[in-house]
Structure 1
């Protein structure tokens, strides 16, 4: 291998999927594989992070006396809502080749993006706790808490659904990686991955879908742990709110 070829490996390049271009990283690079930098985050993820930060800062600066926790929650809610709405068209798409192309590029950069998302959710849970303790528990405060928790829970499971789709349709040689066996043995579409992900989010376990791949099993384990602690946080906040109301 020449010096020029060694210099190119692991650096971003343009990858074409249909009519979309997205910068990617060489999959053969060990460092890229360990850090999950096989591709830069999809614009949907970048938009969520940008809206989250921009709205939180704008709300804090534009509204005098607004608590930082409320500004943080507002930014998260708007960013999460935009992310969820932008992914809605995938729900009804049952065209497998298009699903495969979409899953290949519609991922968050694996480890890096999932870590950023979890950090954002931890920050919002802490902010919600501060908001509940500091506020007078008005109907508006309680509505903000409920909306934020619903959006946060939906966002986490939706991100994992996109990630499962990406892992399943990741190309190994000339074949899909697979790793999930759905009843009926038909090629799964995005709604199937949502079903798998949201069941884990609700129950911290799988249902009638069989995991057949070690990487997929590790990912499901992490999601189950995240769901358990997130649901535990929701329960603690609910008890806090009810104690204040009663």
Structure 2
């Protein structure tokens, strides 16, 4: 019974995330019946469709939230957030595998070749945005959960005692691109642990992206 209750609470408090799963599967079924695409191409199109929907609805939902909205959402969505992150990591690994498969079977026709490469590049961009947006939401919610207890959230933004989602997105994207915290100071052990995990994840992900880009460049040179 408790397991069913957890599923219900997860869907209730994370509806956008759980809605993108059946949405992606629906796109996959449509493509499977209407096209003769390879499985890797179908997987990437499904992934891109689901992630685009998730990112769009997330940005629209968060853009007008003030610190009170963030604090309330943090308390409601705290349960199950790491399960979502683990699932995203698994899905991301499968997606990157599909990219490698997709690039290893690039057709000789010029238009199809560039379509395969373009699809892979779009997938990389959306995957990057997804990962670091989820980290930004983690930072925001952990910050306000700690702030409500200790009056200190663990991140110190210059002249911004009560940061908004846009501030956490800025912080997360800087870590994702440069593996450093720029002008934001970390003042709690919990945030240091999360930031260390983020930096390691970003380094690994960026290394994989570099390998994929080298693969793409090699396929263009040898064509």
TM-score, normalized by length of structure 2?
A: 0.85
143, 146, 155: which is aligned to 2:121?
Answer: 146
Query: What residue number does 2:74 align with?
Result: 103
Query: What residue number does 1:190 align with?
Result: 165
Query: What residue number does 1:163 align with?
Result: 138
Query: What residue number does 2:96 align with?
Result: 125
Q: Displacement of 1:216 after TM fit? A: 1.3
1:72 aligns with 2:47: no
Output one character per residue of 1:188-238: Cα deviation in whole Å (capped at 9) or x when no partner.
100010011111110122111111111211111111111111111111111
Aligned length: 216
Please say which of residues 103-112 and 225-234 is displaced more in the overlay: 103-112
Q: Where is the strand percentage greater, Structure 1 or Structure 2?
A: 1
Q: Aligned partners of 1:186 and 1:172: how far apart in 2?
A: 10
Query: Does 1 or 2 have the higher relative contact order (CA < 8 Å, sep 6+)?
Result: 2
**Aligned in 2, Cα 1:44/1:208: closer, same or farther, shift over 3 Å?**
same
Query: Could you tell me whether the CA contact under 8 Å between 2:174 and 2:181 is conserved in 1?
Result: yes
Output one character per residue of 1:142-162: Cα deviation in whole Å (capped at 9) or x when no partner.
110111111000000001111
TM-score, normalized by length of structure 1?
A: 0.78
Query: Could you tell me whether the CA contact under 8 Å between 1:108 and 1:163 is conserved in 2?
Result: no
Unmatched segments (≥5 aa) in structure 1: 1-6, 14-21, 25-38
CA RMSD of aligned residues (A): 2.7
Query: Could you tell me whether the CA contact under 8 Å between 1:90 and 1:190 is conserved in 2?
Result: no
**Shift >4 Å, 4+ stretches:** 10-13, 171-177
Query: Could you tell me whether the CA contact under 8 Å between 2:70 and 2:141 is conserved in 1?
Result: no
Q: Where is the helix percentage greater, Structure 1 or Structure 2?
A: 2
Query: Could you tell me whether the CA contact under 8 Å between 2:146 and 2:154 is conserved in 1?
Result: no
Q: Displacement of 1:54 after TM fit? A: 3.4
Unmatched segments (≥5 aa) in structure 2: none
**Aligned in 2, Cα 1:11/1:211: closer, same or farther, shift over 3 Å?**
farther
Q: Please give the residue correspondences for 1:1-246 in structure 2 after superposition, counting only pairs within 5 Å.
A: 12=5, 23=9, 42-59=14-31, 61-90=32-61, 92-93=63-64, 95-106=66-77, 109-136=80-107, 138-170=113-145, 174-175=149-150, 178-246=153-221
